[in-house]
């Protein structure tokens, strides 16, 4: 009885999440129109426009968001090409998160209950088929070996790429990139101290379904703001670099005078 009530709660949570997300996306798309008024340079000719457009892209990218996300069905889901599928995926993730966080389910408990329910259905099906002399076979679930191999290979490749990236940064000579990566890892550790690993995964999953579609719709505004922020940071960094160089040169000249 309690399992049935919890199942009804999960269905309500999932449907409510889908409605909220759809309403949020529709509201944002209605209130903030897609404009092309945010540019860093005036439109003089087509060649200068294309060059400035590439310069103003976040991180200097030249591909579309759909291409950066890998293309295919996964990118369609993240960019909400089909609102029903995307909202269902996000609602399902919300239901799973609520199942463990709000209803205090444990992973082992969920697995055991799922297996017990499947065995019960197969038991009823097989006995009903014998009773009514039916020739229909009881459905069986079998996961393909290729699926696990592809998941393992994909996970290994992603992990190796991440390890290679941070090692390239640590062995490189760019202090700015090194500090940015260290700050990002420190921020992730702080967020991890606030909540458990499942909540962090859920936040990342929700962000992956919200941030790309919002950036795609308001690309010009985001690129303009990002370019302005980078310009300010570059000016501050150049000032700091010049002041440090002056201090080092003054100390060097002062020591040489002392030696003389």
Chunked into runs of 10 residues, the chain (260 residues) has average pLDDT values of: 52 61 55 41 41 51 75 82 88 89 84 91 88 78 86 88 89 83 88 84 89 86 83 85 78 60
The pTM of this model reads 0.56
How many whole angstroms separate alpha carbon 201 and alpha carbon 191?
11
How many whole angstroms separate alpha carbon 246 and alpha carbon 260?
21
H or E element, residue 11: helix 2-31
Q: Maximum Cα–Cα distance for the chain, whole Å?
A: 110
The answer to whether 65 and 76 have CB atoms below 8 angstroms apart is no
E strand residue ranges, the chain: none
Give the model's pLDDT for residue 61. Answer: 62
Give the model's pLDDT for residue 57. Answer: 61
- Sequence-separated contacts (24+) of 41-50 with Cβ below 8 Å: none
Give the model's pLDDT for residue 34. Answer: 43
Give the model's pLDDT for residue 8. Answer: 61
Q: Which residues of 10-48 are buried (b: 16+ CB within 10 A; e: fewer)?
A: beebbeebbeebbeebeeeeeeeeeeeebeeeeeeeeee
- Sequence-separated contacts (24+) of 129-132 with Cβ below 8 Å: none
Give the model's pLDDT for residue 33. Answer: 45
């Amino acid at each position: 009885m309690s399992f049935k009530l919890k199942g009804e709660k999960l269905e309500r949570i999932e449907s409510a999440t889908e409605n909220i997300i759809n309403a949020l996306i529709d509201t944002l798309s209605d209130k903030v129109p897609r404009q092309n008024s945010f540019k860093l340079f005036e439109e003089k000719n087509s060649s200068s426009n294309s060059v400035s457009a590439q310069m103003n892209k976040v991180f200097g990218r030249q591909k579309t968001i759909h291409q950066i996300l890998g293309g295919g069905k996964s990118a369609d889901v993240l960019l909400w090409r089909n609102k029903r599928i995307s909202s269902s995926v996000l609602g399902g993730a919300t239901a799973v998160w609520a199942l463990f966080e709000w209803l205090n389910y444990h992973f082992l408990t969920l697995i055991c209950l799922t297996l017990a329910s499947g065995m019960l259905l197969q038991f009823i099906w097989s006995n009903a088929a014998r009773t009514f002399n039916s020739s229909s076979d009881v459905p069986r679930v079998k996961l393909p070996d290729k699926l696990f191999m592809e998941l393992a290979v994909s996970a290994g490749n992603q992990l190796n790429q991440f390890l290679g990236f941070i090692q390239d940064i640590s062995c490189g000579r760019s202090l700015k990139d090194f500090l940015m990566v260290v700050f990002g890892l420190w921020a992730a550790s702080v967020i991890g101290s606030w909540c458990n690993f499942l909540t962090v995964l859920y936040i990342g999953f929700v962000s992956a379904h919200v941030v790309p579609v919002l950036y795609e719709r308001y690309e010009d505004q985001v690129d303009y703001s990002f370019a302005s922020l980078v310009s300010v940071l570059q000016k501050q960094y150049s000032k700091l670099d010049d002041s440090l160089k002056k201090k080092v040169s003054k100390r060097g000249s002062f020591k040489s005078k002392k030696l003389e």
